[in-house]
Amino acid sequence: MKIGRYVQKRKDISKYLQDSNLFVMLNMKYSLVELNELPDEILVKILKNLNNVQVLYSFMRSNQRFDRLVRDDIFTNRLSLLRSSSSNRIYSLDESMVNRFCDEILPEIHHQIQWLNIESSSMKRILSFIYPNLNGLGLYNLDNLEIEMMTHFTRMLFSFSEKRKSLIFSLF
């Protein structure tokens, strides 16, 4: 690699880290092939600056290398499967994202998740998986019926995990 090209890539990475918007970077100026040229250590540093949900959604199953990198505990142990507005209102992920997570991503990483934040409208689908290492669950925009459902879910969680001694619930 020529020095000038290396310096330019390094400047591009620094600018990217300031932007912290991978979707714009991938769609407007760069391709996955160029990202693939970076060493694993640099890729992980870049990806750690992004939202774990976006990392998993964007890179899981994209190629073997990215699939291996994004399955690391750094990206899978704490997930917030919701989105928030600038006024701090909480909303569900887009339906296409929920579908992909429930159909492709969660079946492969559910055993790694230790903390999960979810919004009530996608709660039933997301909680249909067994999370054997789940220690915390943040629940947003629940009504009374959904709180009753959580009692059933809690019993189910404890029945599937012999090592689980406690589970932290946070209701918002």
Segment 132-159 shows an average pLDDT of: 72
Task: Please tell me the distance from the alpha carbon of residue 172 to that of residue 169, in angstroms, as a whole number.
Answer: 10
Residue 156: name the closest of 167, 145, 141, 144 by CA: 167
Is residue 10 very low, low, confident or very high in pLDDT (cuts 50, 70, 90)? Answer: very low
- pLDDT higher than threshold 90 for residue 103: yes
Segment 32-47 shows an average pLDDT of: 84
Instruction: Find tokens 């619930």 and name the residue.
Output: 169
- pLDDT higher than threshold 70 for residue 153: no
* Residue 85: per-residue pLDDT: 86
- pLDDT higher than threshold 90 for residue 100: yes
- pLDDT higher than threshold 50 for residue 56: yes
- Residue 74 contacts by C-beta under 8 Å, 6 or more apart in sequence? 44, 48, 52
More confident residue, 121 or 112: 112
**Which segments of 22-119 does DSSP mark as H helices, in order?**
22-24, 32-36, 40-48, 52-59, 64-70, 73-76, 95-100, 106-109
